[in-house]
Amino acid sequence: MIDHVSVYVSDTTKSRDFYKAALAPLGYEVVMEFPHAVGLGIAGKPDLWLIAGGARTGGQHVAIRAKGRKEVRAFHEAALAAGAKDNGPPGVRAMYHPNYFGAFVLDLDGNNLETVCHEPYIE
């Protein structure tokens, strides 16, 4: 089980606002803030940290589990509205497994942010 993930960003304020909007459909909110770091999560537990320092070469990939396909779609729409670039619209990725339903966006620093549902069709 993953406890937390750190994503290095060039502007923590802009990235905080982006991730807050993009992940709101999944129940994420800002849980902690420090001068050079922002922790987002659900139910008071930060598991996604935005760290000042700029994106690393090649970007990073973070996948966050959604409760259903409706949340995957809502994430994708919210992320694009918040300034992300599409990197794969919501859909089944059968090459991973028959129930893999995900969506991908590139955040403000080019990191690949994914939301995925692994369950059989759950709206």
CATH of the domain at 73: 3.10.180.10
Task: For residue 32, give its domain range.
Answer: 5-52+59-117
Q: How many domains does the chain have?
A: 1
102 inside domain:
yes
Q: What is the pLDDT of residue 2?
A: 66
Does 32 score more than 50 pLDDT? Answer: yes
pLDDT digits (tens, 9 = 90+) for 87-122: 999 999 998 899 999 999 999 989 989 999 988 876
Answer whether residue 123 is part of any domain. no
Under 8 Å between Cβ of 17 and 9: no
Binned at pLDDT 50, 70 and 90, residue 1 comes out as very low
Residue 122 lies in a domain: no
Q: Which residues touch 31 (CB under 8 Å, ≥6 apart)?
A: 39, 40, 41, 44, 45, 46
Question: How much is the pLDDT for 122?
Answer: 64
Of the two residues 21 and 3, the one the predictor is more confident about is 21
75 within 8 A of 46, measured Cβ to Cβ = no
Q: Is the pTM of this model over 0.85?
A: no
| 35-84 pLDDT per residue, tens | 999 999 999 989 999 989 876 666 788 899 998 999 999 999 999 999 99
**Domain-embedded: residue 96:** yes
Mean pLDDT, rounded, of the chain: 91
User: Could you tell me if residue 40 is inside a domain?
Assistant: yes
Both tokens assigned to 68:
């259903």
Cβ–Cβ under 8 Å, residues 48 and 28: yes
